[in-house]
Amino acid sequence: MLLYSKRLLTQHNVVAAEVKEPCQESLDSAPVGTTAREQRYMSGHYFFEYLVVVSLKKSKEGAYEPQITYQFPKRDGMVRFQREEEEKTLKAITLFCFPEGISWAPLTEYHSETFSFVLTEIDGSRRNGYCRRLLPHGKGARPPEAFCIISRLACFGLFSKIFDEVEKRHQISMAMIYPFMQSLREAAFPAPGNTVKIKSFVPDKGTEIISLTRPLDSWLEHVDFRTLFRCLTNEEVVLVFAAAAMERRIVFIAVELSTLSQVIHAVAALLYPFTWQHTFISIVPEILIDVVMAPTPYLLGVQKRLMDQVTDQTDVTLPNDTPLRNHLDRVCTISPSAVEELNSVVLEAFLPFFVKTVGHFDLYVTRNSRGQPGVFQSRAFYKAIKSKTTRHFVKKFLQTQMFDLFIQEVEQQPASPQQGIFHKKIVEYQEQKKKEKAKKRH
């Protein structure tokens, strides 16, 4: 069966959502000879790994090919395997900055857009790529170019502001970018809710102070839910959430690269406190389009012009959770500029779903007094659920990789009160149930 609407497609084992607009190097272990500054970056204390400019250059055959024309900082003193791995990374960056391939022509007008992608490494760790494409300064028709920042830090809003500063300096001179990025690289990355201030000199304006603030809810700092709810109906969002929770193969289709990256990252955030563990490509380069034929779960973003190559789709059962839908109805009443309010509404809609269905997990982790890892009693866990519908969902959810890795981490942790918003919501829910039981007795 094939279901088609203006926004959603489903058939066989893929959910393909058409959203409309209104392996690279591992740095986990420091190699011999690594400097203190390099180790600081590897520990995640630097804002970024490097900034590159990707330009479209005409080949001998007459086609435009993306090439890196600027890189900061230059990494010297690498051994052979490090150099080879970096070359692979840089090649991947050019593909993701211009996923359309070689089908380019000089332009006189081009709407600047900002989007992100993820580089997944051999060990499963991820680096984030932030890209802004724009038309370089000049006269006459010319191809666009892309500024790209590679970082282990996921914070789209913050890096968008950094791009604003890079673009402003680029209008003056490429030489103006270096001191700003150097100051940024040397600055300490702020904790959630904190601000770091960067001093930077701009001709005719003097020294400027740029303030960069991280959101208080760090797990939402890479997310903008506005695009997701502008492109899909509430019912469609619930459908995609269900498919992601069951680790299906999901393809998002849109014209704009920024729409694809914002929607796919928003969907991944709906799974909190769980993390998507499978293939995650927010923008699939044309040369890699065959990835849609993979038999394993994935979250993919595909440009609409490649839509004919996305086939093999199926139906997904929606979670029967009326409160979830009632919360989402509030989304329509929120101002488009009220990002924090929207995040709060989405949090109150989706997080309680996991609190109610699997929030009792810690009661079924047995631990001994010798400090050995705990053991999760999965059968007793889902048998304790009274609702047959919920029990059916949980039994399937226990088989997902995201829950398996989540519970493995729980088993390794000591038997002490857990921190974080998920655990806070669990405590609140359990206290509420106790009060309700006490009222019934009286």
Q: In the chain, pLDDT over 90 holds for what percent of residues?
A: 30
* pLDDT at residue number 321: 61
Q: Say which residue, 54 or 343, is predicted with more confidence.
A: 54
Question: Residue 108 and residue 101: Cα distance in Å, rounded?
Answer: 20
User: Rounded to the nearest 5°, which phi and psi values hold at 190?
Assistant: -70, 150
Per-residue tokens: 268? 């991944």
Place of tokens 């519908």: 389
Helices (H) and strands (E) in the chain, counts: 13, 15
Residues 6+ positions from 420 with CB-CB distance below 8 Å: 273
Phi, psi angle pair for 299, to nearest 5°: -120, 115
Residue 90: enclosing H or E segment and its boundaries?
Answer: helix 80-97
Q: Let me know if 270 is exposed, middle or buried by CB neighbors in 10 A (0-12, 13-18, 19+).
A: buried
Of the candidates 90, 102, 54, 60, the residue with the CA atom closest to the CA atom of residue 285: 102
What is the predicted pLDDT for the residue at 333? Answer: 65
Backbone angles phi, psi at 231, to 5 degrees: -90, -30
The predicted model gives 35-47 an average pLDDT of 51
Count the Cβ atoms, other than its own, within 10 Å of residue 243: 24
How confident is the model over 133-157, as pLDDT tens digits? 988 888 888 899 999 999 988 888 8
Question: For residues 396 and 390, what is the distance between their CA atoms, to the nearest angstrom?
Answer: 10
Q: What is the pLDDT of residue 327?
A: 64
Note the pTM of the prediction, 2 decimals. 0.81
Q: Do residues 336 and 293 touch, judged by C-beta distance below 8 A?
A: no
Confidence of residue 13 (pLDDT cuts 50, 70, 90): very low
pLDDT at 246: 93
CA 213 – CA 217 distance, rounded (Å):
12
* Strands 145-151, 126-134: pairing kind: antiparallel
18-32, 404-418, 419-433: least confident range: 18-32
Distance CA 153, CA 150 (A): 9
Residue 235 is predicted with a pLDDT of 86
Q: In the prediction, which pLDDT does 305 show?
A: 87
State phi, psi for 377 to the nearest 5 degrees.
Answer: -95, 85
Which tens digit of pLDDT belongs to each residue from 103-126? 788 888 888 889 999 988 777 778
Q: What phi and psi values does residue 24 have, to the nearest 5 degrees? A: -105, -160
| pLDDT tens figures, 216-275 | 766 777 788 889 988 998 888 988 999 999 999 999 999 999 999 999 999 999 999 999
Q: 341-357 in b/e burial notation, b at 16+ Cβ within 10 A? A: ebbebbbebbbbbbbbb
| pLDDT confidence of residue 204 | 76
Q: Looking at residues 68-77, what average pLDDT do you find?
A: 83
Amino acid at 186: E
Which comes out higher in pLDDT, residue 22 or 208? 208
